[in-house]
Every structure is written in C-alpha cells, then in structure tokens.
Amino acid sequence: MPKPETIRGWGFVAPALIWTLAFFVVPFGIMAAMSFATLDGRELVWGFSLENYTRLFGQSYLLRAIVVSLEITLTVTIVSIVLAYPLAWIIVYRVPARWQRLALLLAILPFWTSYVVRSYAWLLVLSREGVINQTLMGLGVISEPLTLASTRFATVTGFVHFFVMLLTLTIYANLVQLPANYRRAAVDLGASSWQAFRHVVLPLTMPGIATGAFLTFVLCIGDYITPQILGGNNELTGPQIIMVQLGRGANFPLAAAMSIVLMALVTLAYLAASRWLRLDRL
Amino acid sequence: MRRAIPWVYMALAYAFIFLPVVTLVLFSFQDGRLPVPPFNGPTLKWYADVLGDTRLMSALLNSLLVGAGSAALSCALGFLAAYGLARHVLPGTLFLRGLLIAPMTVSYLIIGLGLLIVFNNYGPGPSLWAAGVGHVVINLPLAFAIIYASMGAQQENAERAARDLGASEARVLALVTIPMLAPAILAAFFLCLTLSWDEFIIAFLMTRFDVTLPVEIWSLLRSGLSPRTNAIGSLVFLVSVALVIGLELFIFGRKRR
Amino acid sequence: MTYFAARRGLMSSFAILALPAAAMAAEDLNALVWCDHTDPALIEPFEQQHGIRVNLREYEGTATALALLEQSRPGDWDVLVIDAIDVPRAVGAGLMAELPAEDLATADFWPGVAMEDQTQVDGKTYAVTEKFGYNTISFNSDKVDAADMQDLATVWSDKYTDRIAVYDYYLPVMGLAAIANGVETANLSADDLPALKETLFTMKDNARSVGEVVASQTALATGEVDIVIGGGEWLTAVLAEEQPELTWTIPDQGAVRWAQSIGVLEASENKDLAVEFVKYITGPEGQARLATSSCYWGMPANQKAGEHLSDAQKKVLRWDDQPDYLKRAQLYPAPDADLDGQMQDVWLEMLQH
C-alpha cells in the first residue's frame, strides 16, 4: 500500500507523464512498428519485414544519404565547437564584466531570425550574384564568381552559423560558473596559460561543450530545411529522403525506417557524450 | 600585437554571425524584384505588401496562438511534474526524469512523423491543434528541466515553514512555490514561446489549412525569390529581438541588481 | 485554488486555440491543390460571389495526395487538382465523382487539351483540364547559343557543364530524357529505365544544381546557371518583364506537355458548390486568372480566356505558337504505382550520383 504522500506525488507527475506517453512514446512505438511494415501498391501491410532496412543499407543512394547526414553533422559539430569556444572564452575573460551580458546577447541575437528565413538569407549571401561574390569581385580579389551556393559548403555554413551561437551560449554558461581563481591558482603553481587551459579549464567546461555538441548533433542530423535550401539537391541527407518519401511516394514505412536509423545515430552520439551531459540541468 | 588577436577574432565572429541578418534586412528595402546586389535604394513597399497580405497575417496570428497556448501548457505540465519529482519521494525518480527529458534527444522531424502517423490513422487528422500538441511534446522537456533545475533548498525551506504554519499544499504552491519560481517559469514560458513560434517541420506536417508563420514563409519561398520574404523575415526578427531585449531588461536584468 | 487556476488557464488557452477553427464559415470548400490556386486574385472573386471560404492545401506528388485522400473522412475534401495523366489512378481508387459534362466548357478548349482519354472513364467525365504548358528548356539567350538549345543532345552536353540547373520533378525531366533517348513518353516501361538512368547521370554530371521551382528560377534569374532543364513558360513568364533575355524553346526532338486538371471528390459533402468551383476555374475569367496566377503562369485550357488576357500577357504565354507547340509536345509519362516507385528510385539515385 503506497503512502498517501506518494500517491499525491504521482498526481503531480501524471499529467506530464501521460502527455509524454500518449504523444511521444506511443507514436514513436507505432512508427517503429511501421518501419517493419511494407507497401503493396498504396496499401500498407503490417508485419515483420526487414525490407525497408535492407533497402536503406543495400541501395547505394539510400545508404549514401545516411553517410552524407553523418558527415555533415560531424563536420558541423566539430567546426562549431572550434569556432564557438574562443568566442565564449573572449567574452568571459577579455570583455569587461559590465559589457559581458551585452556581448553575449549580441553573439546570439540572430538566433531569433526565423529559422526558415535564416537559410534563405545565407542563399542571398552565398549565391553567384550574392553579397560575398559581389564584394570580392568589387575589390578585385576574384574575377569570376565563386561557386558557393548549392554545395555542401553552403549547407555546412548555414548550420555552423546557427550552432556557433548555440555553443557560444552553452560554453559561456559553463565558463562563467568557473571561479576565476582556479585558473590563477594553476598559473601561480607554475603552469603555463596553455597548461592551465588544457588541464584545468577545458576539463571543467566539458559539460558545456558536450551539452552544446549533443544538441547540435540532434538538431543538425534531423534538419530538413538547411540542406534543402542551401545544398541544391546535389546530395541528399536522411531527412530529405524522409520528406521525399512522405511528399511524393507516400512511403511511410521507408520514411519510418530512415527515422529509426537516424535515431540510432543520435543514441550513439548520446552514449559518446553521456559522461558529461547535463540535459536536465540546462 | 598579441593582445589584439582576441578582439580581431571577436570582430570576425560577429561579422560572420551578423552577415546573413544584415543582408536579409538590407534587401528587404530593395527597390526591385531580386534581393541581391546591387542595392537599388530604399523602399518600404515590401513591408506594405507583407502587412497587407491576409494569409501571412493570419499565419502570424496562428503562430502566436499555437506558441502561447503550447508554451502555457508546457509550463503548467512541466511545473507540476517538477514539483512532484522534487518534493515527493517517488519510486524510479531517475527513470521518470529521463522519460520526461527524452523528447529533447529526438529530432523534431521524427517526433512529427510519429504524430503524423498517429493523427492520420487513429486521430482527428492534421490541424493547428495537432501542431500545438506536437509543440507541447518538444517544449515540455525544456519547461520541466528549467523549472526542475531552479527548485532549490531555499524554496523547500520556505515551503516547509508555510506548511508548519498550517497552510495546505495548494496554498503553499500558490503563495510560496509559484511566486518564488516565477522567474524560472517565465523564462521557460518565453523560451517555449519562441521555439514554438519558429518551429517548422512539425507545424508543416501537422497543419492543414490554417498554418503557422514558418509554414507560410516556406510556401512563400517555394513560389519565388523576392524581397517580400526579406520583409517578413525582418519583421519577425525585429519583433523577436524587441521581445528578447524587453525580457532581458525587465525580468532577467532585475535579479542581478 | 491553484489547481482551478491552472485548469482555467488551460481551458482558456485551448479556447484561444479553437478560435481559428470556429471562425471558419459553415460552408467551406476544401481543396487539395497546386500552388497556382493559392493566389487570392483567383480565389477571392469566387469566395465573394458565393459568400463562402475556400480552404486550400498544397501537395507535391500524386501518390501522396491519393494516400491523404484515402485516409480522410467523408466531407474532409471537396475539390482536387491533379495531373491530368493521373486522373485514371484517382478514378480507379474510387476517389473521383462524376462531373456534369454538359455544363463544362470543353468545347472552347484548345484542340487535344480536353484529354478525354485521361479525364473520362467508361464515357463518364471525372475531371476537366484547366491549365497546361511545357517542360522543356529555359535558357538565358545572352549567354547561351540558341541553336544549341534546339538539340537535347547538346543541351546537357559538357559544353555547358556547371551552367545547368535541373528542375526537381521526376516525371517531366524523365519524360524529356526519354524523348532524348527516342522513347515516346506514353510507352515508357521498366525496360527503358537503365538507359534513362544513364541519360539522367549525364545530366547530373553537367548540372550545377537540381532544384524546385523557386530554386531553378532563382538560379536562372541571378546568373547562377544559364539553362534550366524541365523549365518552360511557367518558369520564365514571371521574370519576362525585367529580364527579357530569359526565354524558352521546344527542341527539335520535342518536349513534355504538362496538364493539370480539376475534379470533384466522391467523398465531398458539398458537391454542388464544388462543381460550381470547377465551372468557375474552367470558365473564361477564372481561366485568365489561373493562367497568370502568382505562383506560376501557364496556358489556360479554355481559349475564351484570351478575351480577358492582355496582348502582353498572351505574348509571354506564346498564345499564337500553341497550335505548333501542341503538335510537337508529348504528354507526361503515366506510370502505374510500381513503375512510379521505380522511377522515383531512379530519380533519387540520380540526385545522389
């Protein structure tokens, strides 16, 4: 017999729990089951068939989409960390305290451009007649416009722009919490600035990096808009395959299977980062 | 010389971060059909065009409604769950916390696909409501995490004091817990609002005739490159920034003083 | 107390959410359409005339539209805009309602455009053609030798490497590839796919990008590319005023003719109004508005629309060339569900090539 106290506790948790079960766990389960179903014409046949998965890994163009997604996501995650860390560092240790908040706010301000419009804006920047090419040609640096849009470079740039802001935020939040005297103590004890960073600050900021990197991974690998607008369909990512299956072929089972594969990749990323992750302590 | 390196880096980083935004806003004033250089001098006609577009404006209203509704619900559910888990001893607390946070680790596209399958086959089909349901799924973990993280010993002591003085649990919640957690709850609300207001893929999959702003902008994009898109994008940006700066000044700015 | 406050807050937020649904007029027409139908200039006159609201939803591929309709409940949808060649598939699935043929203006249509073979089944009319045009070659006449554009073999040859965009829709572009290979689009079968794939790969090797309407249009307008395979009047018409050098042609081998049709759904609970809508869209005024709709232009099926179009608009649409063009163009391929799936797979393979 549970204590009344416990029952009351359940009462508080129940609404959120039921919502999560009904609209997240159950749909996910049905989708997982659907990934083992097949299509007969337009008729959905439930059952346990590995056909969708053998297609995903057997047909080169589908497997390629998974590889492309993974390559882009890893590139974006690494580049974003490398670019964001120094920025967060400078804001914390170089910008005078009273300007820090403003500097951070500025660094993440474009976060609030509409997500769909952000990729579109990059198209305006990167296209043949766009800002970069026109400027470089005006300055006489190049004579022929560079091919920037409709490439993987464009997709990665669009992503990195967004995730640099996200990572600057998570790393900043982590850095400001570190007492400044840790680093000073290390230096006083004879460590070089690099050693102090490598052995004191970096390990202590791993939670910020890991949290940001994991969010980057999740959001990047599941994104449809950015590669669709900036990639020029020169290669397709997993989400693009999913949307084509939904939009043109109504092939829900194949789309579901691709989703499960992307999920599996996210789970791997989670395991890799779990040592440092603090998702419930954002 | 070496001292200048951080500032140069910072300037370059800001230039990178602001490049697309400045381009977007600048060419929303483009007097011509294409929003690319050369800049043909300022005009406000695209703003007039956008503000007079009933479809865009009703989509904007829809976005606000879905955003406010789903953010409010997310915060209500998230707060109750956080309170339940922080103040009551429940078996499997760790598991429950993990379950509530789990949607955060799943791509929006996958959450949307699952909901689409369920709503198509077993539910009432797509609608603004369905999009709102999806947005609560993605925002509930955030609201829960933010509120849960801010539940400290300080509130617990105040709650215990109130209870010792004979207040019922409902009164404690209303008069002690919620007021003390108000900054966290508000922060969660506005974060959820901005995320829902800007969310595309779930809204795209789950709506039918009445759509949210990002979905409408997407169909605008599909029908032509135009300074109109710049204009609506700039408007959304300016409104959001005003909101963020207002929040920073009036809510989060205060507690540090 | 809080519990009730929370509940009240909850319910009022739901009430707010319900508003847009409640604001819907009692008599609505729900139409599953292509983007050219979402132009208010086309829809509003009908809404005002009948005092109703037309709800519009765009879709991409026929298969998805059919799946959506099969999953919907009676009354969900009233009107469907569909590729004319796919009408038999929709009729076969029992989705389409018979139209009163005597009320339709098909007698005024361009010759051959009524497409009775597709829109009629067993002598009953299920859909009516509303708009047509060509998926062919659009190009920038300042930068490309117009003579080269007359031969499909040179259009996507390495002479124009990286100056080509391919329109991202498999049916018309695969139709063009079939025509280049000497296969009639109507006879396209699974056996032709390997050769077709090679042709598509060549296209891809020389292309800069593969894009949807806006992407291809933008690429051409901004000089990103000089040729759009699969383009046509629908791609360049809206640009004609500012950039007259952007033009299109039908090569000597021919091109693909697209035709969209409109019909009433069997599950509609508002068939009379739906038929009125079909009559409006295929009538002279509706046709003129549809032809010059903001999303893309195209030829109106009804020749009487000419009375409501300006000479400049007709010139952009190449009104006077239609008799010749109609003779030289072939219809979209019309695959069954199996071949359709295989064609989509080949298309994806081309994209990843």
Could you write out the DSSP letters of every residue in chain A?
---HHHHHHHHHHHHHHHHHIIIIIHHHHHHHHHTT-EEETTEEE-S---HHHHHHHHSHHHHHHHHHHHHHHHHHHHHHHHHHHHHHHHHHHTS-HHHHHHHHHHHTGGGGS-HHHHHHHHHHHHSTTSHHHHHHHHTTS-SS----SSSHHHHHHHHHHHHHHHHHHHHHHHHHHS-HHHHHHHHHTT--HHHHIIIIIHHHHHHHHHHHHHHHHHHHHT--HHHHHHSTTSS--HHHHHHHIIIII--HHHHHHHHHHHHHHHHHHHHHHTTT--GGG-
pLDDT at site C50: 93
Residues of chain C with C-beta less than 8 angstroms from the C-beta of A129: 222-224
C244 inside 8 A of chain A by CB: no
Distance from A267 to chain C by nearest Cα, in Å? 26
B neighbour chains, 3+ CB pairs within 8 Å? A, C
pLDDT at site C91: 94
Residue B207 has pLDDT above 80, yes or no: yes
Mean pLDDT over residues B40-64, rounded?
89
- Short-list C325, C329, C189, C165, CA closest to C254: C329
Mean per-residue pLDDT of chain B: 87
Residue C80 has pLDDT above 90, yes or no: yes
What are the pLDDT digits (tens) for A183-211? 778 778 888 878 888 888 888 888 889 98
What are the pLDDT digits (tens) for B83-117? 999 888 888 888 999 999 999 889 999 999 999 99
Mean pLDDT over residues B70-74, rounded?
96
CA C318 – CA B145 distance, rounded (Å): 62
Would you call B128 and C21 a contact, using CB atoms and an 8 Å cutoff?
A: yes
B246 inside 8 A of chain A by CB: no
Q: Which structure tokens are listed for A223?
A: 């994104």
CB C164 within 8 A of CB C156: yes
Least confident piece of the model among A57-71, C209-223, C268-282:
C209-223
pLDDT at site C2: 35
Residue C261 has pLDDT above 60, yes or no: yes
Question: Which is higher by pLDDT, B36 or A109?
Answer: A109
Q: Which of B87, B108, B229 sits opposite A117 (nearest CB)?
A: B229
CA C64 – CA C319 distance, rounded (Å): 33
pLDDT band for position C243 (cuts 50, 70, 90):
confident
Question: Which is higher by pLDDT, A232 or A4?
Answer: A232
Based on its alpha-carbon atoms, the radius of gyration of chain C, rounded to whole angstroms, reads: 22
CB B206 within 8 A of CB B119: yes
Q: Which of C10, C40, C214 sits opposite B225 (nearest CB)?
A: C214
Residues of chain A with C-beta less than 8 angstroms from the C-beta of B72: none
Mean pLDDT over residues B233-240, rounded?
88
Element containing residue C64 per DSSP (H, E): helix C62-71
Least confident piece of the model among A177-181, A210-214, A252-256, B184-188:
A177-181
Mean pLDDT over residues A46-69, rounded?
93
A129 inside 8 A of chain C by CB: yes
Would you call C168 and A233 a contact, using CB atoms and an 8 Å cutoff?
A: yes
Residues of chain A with C-beta less than 8 angstroms from the C-beta of B4: none
CB C332 within 8 A of CB C174: no
CB B135 within 8 A of CB B67: yes
Distance from B248 to chain A by nearest Cα, in Å? 9
Residue B47 has pLDDT above 70, yes or no: yes
pLDDT band for position A272 (cuts 50, 70, 90):
confident
Q: Which structure tokens are listed for B125?
A: 């089909």
Which one-letter DSSP state was computed for residue C189? -
Residue whose structure tokens are 């789950």: B206
Mean pLDDT over residues A102-130, rounded?
87
Share of residues in chain B with pLDDT > 70 (%): 96
Least confident piece of the model among C20-24, C81-85, C315-319:
C20-24
Residue C273 has pLDDT above 80, yes or no: yes
Question: CA–CA distance from C242 to each of B239, C216, C237, C246 (Å)?
Answer: 33, 17, 10, 9
pLDDT at site A41: 75
Question: Which is higher by pLDDT, A165 or A197?
Answer: A165
Question: Which is higher by pLDDT, B67 or A4?
Answer: B67
Would you call A124 and B35 a contact, using CB atoms and an 8 Å cutoff?
A: yes
Residue B190 makes CB contacts below 8 A (sequence gap 6+) with B71, B243, B247
Mean pLDDT over residues C37-60, rounded?
91
What are the pLDDT digits (tens) for C91-126? 998 999 999 988 898 999 998 899 998 999 988 999
Mean pLDDT over residues A242-249, rounded?
87
A neighbour chains, 3+ CB pairs within 8 Å? B, C
pLDDT band for position A152 (cuts 50, 70, 90):
very high
pLDDT at site C292: 92
pLDDT at site B253: 57
